[in-house]
Amino acid sequence: MLRKNPKSKKLSAAGTFAIVASRYNSQFVDAMLRAAKAELLRAGAKVQVVRVPGAYEIPVVAVKLARQSCPRLSAIICLGVILRGQTVHAAHIGDAVSRALMDIQLATEVPVIHEVLLLENAEQARVRCLDRKHNRGTEAAQTALEMARVMSELRCDDIPF
């Protein structure tokens, strides 16, 4: 259950959120994780963090979390950084993770927030992960809060058809 805080424009939350974060490229992922967790805690949410070795391992943990019933999660945030190299390996990982995360949220109806970033270089990662004004972890948490609110408002008796 999410609600608007009457004293601010920020969302507040009374739910449980999971963050699945890669340990690979930890300098960048850890910064997103700190920002996402802080944003969720500021909103009053409960937060469960699960670390995995790399981006490719994120979907299997996300689907297990999405299928659990106790507690039923309000949303899952997936955080990782994939840096392109000289081969197409990074693109294959990025595509596979993207497809899997979409499939998970469609199959389970738990919002899965995709912040597994496929970036060209470390400079792009610094801008998106280490910059406090534009940290993608903060944005992911805000999206998770909003999607949890939207999903909680979609009840069968509220649909006009």
User: Which residues have a Cβ under 8 Å from the Cβ of 28 and sit 6 or more positions away?
Assistant: 81, 125, 126, 128, 129, 130
Q: Which two tokens stand for residue 62?
A: 């996300």
Is 31 in contact with 39 (CB distance < 8 Å)?
no
C-alpha distances in angstroms, 138 versus 59, 141, 144? Answer: 21, 5, 10
Active site residue 114: no
Q: Which amino acid is at 136?
A: R
Is 31 in contact with 22 (CB distance < 8 Å)?
no
Q: Cα(51)–Cα(106) distance, rounded to whole angstroms?
A: 23
Q: Which positions are catalytic?
A: 89
